[in-house]
A and B are shown apart, each in its own frame.
Chain A
């Protein structure tokens, strides 16, 4: 299946009809999730500001998920030399950078009323900031290598080495003292967060996921087209 889809041409023909549906589902989920977020009860300590959670936490999830996808794509591009994997890693990097920036920004806006500070150099925030810098470095490295194949290879190595940051982010709240709370969704024995707040969070998480996939397919398709265009131009220049 994966090998069958790894042909960029075939991938585009499969992905293009799916794409509008992804966008529609993302929009519907976003509306539903936002409605739920505003209907959910206020936190007994945080009051209204707890609602920032519903846009902050999914953004942080996506920041990490996108880097994970980038790592997997880089691996396949580097080891099995799938052209589609190279294009996928390149296409998804800016999406991840934006989600990371969103997580940092909303976190900062949430931190001010709750912790009394815009920023605290705790393990979680520092490691997510480093994740953002990794994204920037990845994009900059890709942009500065002219040859597409070399760029794909070098950035894939960088992305794979940078994967080490993901577990650091995940466990940062356990390893170091932090203003961030410990894990409350993905924990052994089920989530510890109240159901009335859990459900809006799940819906928003799904909405972000579909939004990410939708944007990813758009960017990937234009990357494939871009490559085709460049290949055609190179061929024309030869004649």
Chain B
């Protein structure tokens, strides 16, 4: 009886957005009298940071600092329609709607500044620090603060924009299944190292090395929290979790976090993450959806590592010590 080390690999792709499309989202953007920008949505932040990434997308597009953008969301009386936060669609769908709305608002902002500076709007650019200047002549400039005041109180113009993003719905062809499930795909490859105790069947996940390709990492810190969290969540899925341990029998279903088996902090694997960026043609600044894709390749990588360690295949999730022990017993008696 011994602790045996094994290594496994798996590679996957993952579609961004609701399968087959047909899932619109809208955004509205307007400036306050002093040149801050309000983004109005009805999208839901699930704790993953949707509001933060939308603020950064709006700021990048208009040419202001992120802290000058406020996100007002999740209210059906004020926010325009959004299909919802699911299917790795938030960043891609809502981000594109925010870009469109912000571009329209930026255009009005530049037109107002053009009037103040007596130039053409097409000759103007933003410096990202709160100013609008003539291209090639940075000394000829006006602040966004003053531009917004002028729009409100002198010109009577609304610095605002509307955005809408829809991937048209695809209907699968009945006989062949010809269809367009998604416009872009994220990719991943995981190498997992495990120790398996062939006396107890216990698996220790020694390390998980994940490579993810997600289009663009719009906020790398938030991408990291998503990718690390997803990786941990799915190790739990692979090795621990089930609503009923003897499924399909309905007995012994957990009803709180004491009974529902999940790894504790001491069970977390050493996790390494590398991110590749191949921009998506229709992604907001090239981004794809990182939400779901990060929680897939670890499961088969672990299953393959367990086989590499002790030579048994567990083709039913979760891969519990009991299932490993039973398979080892069968292997020894064969």
| A and B interact physically | no
